[in-house]
Amino acid sequence: MKKKELILFDFDGVIIDGMNEYWHSSLLACKYYLNSKDICSNINTNLKISNVFISLRPWIKYGWEMVIITHEIIKKNNPLTDKNKNSFVANYENNCAKIIKKNSWDSKNLQKSLDRARELQISDNFDQWISLHKPFIEVVKFIKDAEKNGFQIGIITTKGKLFTQKILENIDINPDYLYGYESGSKTEIIANLINDYKIIGFLEDRLKTLLNVVNNSQTSTLPCYLADWGYLKENDRNNLPKTIKLLKLNDLNNRLANFA
């Protein structure tokens, strides 16, 4: 029997630009749920989004890392600034680990603090929370056109499934499959799907994630696309392996035609 054809998408940076929400929710997490002696309790949660936060977003994989970055930006002593951000990202994972150890935190509790900040906003002012997310209209149209052409749609994200679902409902996207951070790594999820479906494309804006996919023996044949409009590092577009294609927003319609 012919396998159903499936197109896979990352969420943040590919379908949605949620930069304002990331910053605002991370500030709320720091204010209400983070036990830190390095920041004031009366954090101004209306602070304009930090340019340092924006520039560091491409290094972030999981939501809890955003809480750490925000904490470092707003702390009282030796904050993370434009002047020292390059040294921070040069050893990004180790620096995050040091911050966790110094404050006796753990990633699960940090993630819970971010989730609670989002739950608070959804409960108190859902419309305002939703308004912080800006969909990429071209991608929304691409997904709807793909569905009309008989393709199934899957979304794999490191955001919580519940929050992703609420945003998708607001932009009228109903994927056949939705996996949040609770479901495991993207490579593992894809490796399971590839047995039952013909996956004809995976659109993602995190190059390291795509490299993990193409370097895994179970998923190495998957057509992978780096979303040019997403949260990319400065050098991500350079010297891509042949197994990963750079995809621009205005190329989406042509790509769908090739799929069909």
Name all domains of the chain by residue range, CATH numbers in brackets: 4-17+134-259 (3.40.50.1000), 19-131 (no CATH)
pLDDT of residue 259: 67
> pLDDT tens per residue, the chain (260 residues)?
578 999 999 999 999 999 999 999 999 999 999 988 898 778 888 889 999 999 999 999 999 999 999 999 999 999 999 999 999 999 999 999 999 999 999 999 999 999 999 999 999 999 999 999 999 999 999 999 999 999 999 999 999 999 999 999 999 999 999 999 999 999 999 999 999 999 999 999 999 999 999 999 999 999 999 999 999 998 999 999 999 999 999 988 777 777 65
13's tokens: 């940076």
The set of residues, in sequence order, having a beta carbon less than 8 Å from that of 2 and lying 6+ positions away, is 198
- Residue written as tokens 């490299």? 211
Q: For residues 134 and 16, is the Cβ–Cβ distance under 8 A? A: yes
pLDDT of residue 37: 87
DSSP 177-237: EEE-GGG--HHHHHHHHTTTEEEEEEEES-HHHHHHHHTSTTTTTS-EEEETTSS--TTTT
State how beta strands 134-135 and 16-17 pair. antiparallel
DSSP state letter for 16: E
Helix (H) or strand (E) holding 154: strand 152-156
CA quadruple 20, 22, 26, 29: dihedral sign: positive
pLDDT of residue 150: 93
